[in-house]
Homo-oligomer: A and B are copies of this chain.
């Protein structure tokens, strides 16, 4: 199969990572790097590169050899740039979040469908060995029924100029939830709480609570102000509970065969209650994980989906589901923490 000929638009924070991975992936051929600041594009490819750079987005569109475009620019520009690419028949990979509104996201999905090209959202974490393993364990039923998911993603982060901490960091948690939650555990609503204790003009410490279908719950803590970096997720199941510590150098995933069991007849009579709750205290297992770079998997999946004419794992709909929660979370913040339902989560267009 011929390598997919790609251009990268945006050479700021994330672009250089895409550039590096498109270069190392045998299934892609990097043709062009575009940034409004040409010197930034030049720095991104380096002094020894044969890759062409430009500061004109039109040049990307005009280059007939370019089959696909990766967009790593600020979110507010996603709609226009991605739309132009899709309408010119290019496959598109967009940085998270897909767009700034659900409505804009839908437009991109529709355009991709109309032009028969792939639209992929770069939910990088979904391609890490850890999330792939978690997904395997939740979808196979190895953890049993999912009871709760608790995610913490905090560190001394760059206070963004145009988005709050929920829009900056929670897309990671939400995109992970999107791929690991089994059918029947979809988010039903969201309540958001936050604070801006430094007077930055936007939420810097945020909490999301998502009631899940079936009585389960998901929660995420995102925070730009923490001097310690923590990235953990606990996925509690009726059979086993998984703890993911993304910063552990040696043991990222731990699966505990430990939990609380309630016997069926336990709820009928209060007297007998205590005796009918039992505790399992079994072993813990840390599965061996691969070491591959997630973004390398992202560009590989993008190339494969484009070549095979199929939807990528994290397609536009996945991006849209994340957007919908972010929008509802912003509304919840405005309403002082009220629980905002996620109507239409499961409507046909999204799945």
Spell out A's residues near B (CB within 8 Å).
23-24, 30, 45-51, 145, 147-148, 150, 152, 154, 156, 159, 161, 191, 193-201, 204-205, 207, 209, 211, 214-217, 219, 221, 223-229, 234, 236, 238, 241, 243, 247-251, 254, 256, 258-262, 266-267, 270, 273-274, 277, 279, 281-288, 336-339
Chain B residues whose C-beta falls within 8 Å of the C-beta of A49 in the assembled complex: 48-50
Contact A223 B150 (CB under 8 A): yes
Chain B residues whose C-beta falls within 8 Å of the C-beta of A48 in the assembled complex: 23, 30, 45, 49-51
Chain B residues whose C-beta falls within 8 Å of the C-beta of A283 in the assembled complex: 285-288
A159 to B201 CA separation, bound complex (whole angstroms): 42
Residue of B nearest to A194 (CB): B217
Chain copies in the assembled complex? 4
Contact A236 B287 (CB under 8 A): no
Contact B337 A238 (CB under 8 A): no
A172 to B349 CA separation, bound complex (whole angstroms): 47
Contact B217 A258 (CB under 8 A): no
Residue of B nearest to A234 (CB): B226
Contact B197 A147 (CB under 8 A): yes
Chain B residues whose C-beta falls within 8 Å of the C-beta of A273 in the assembled complex: 161, 201
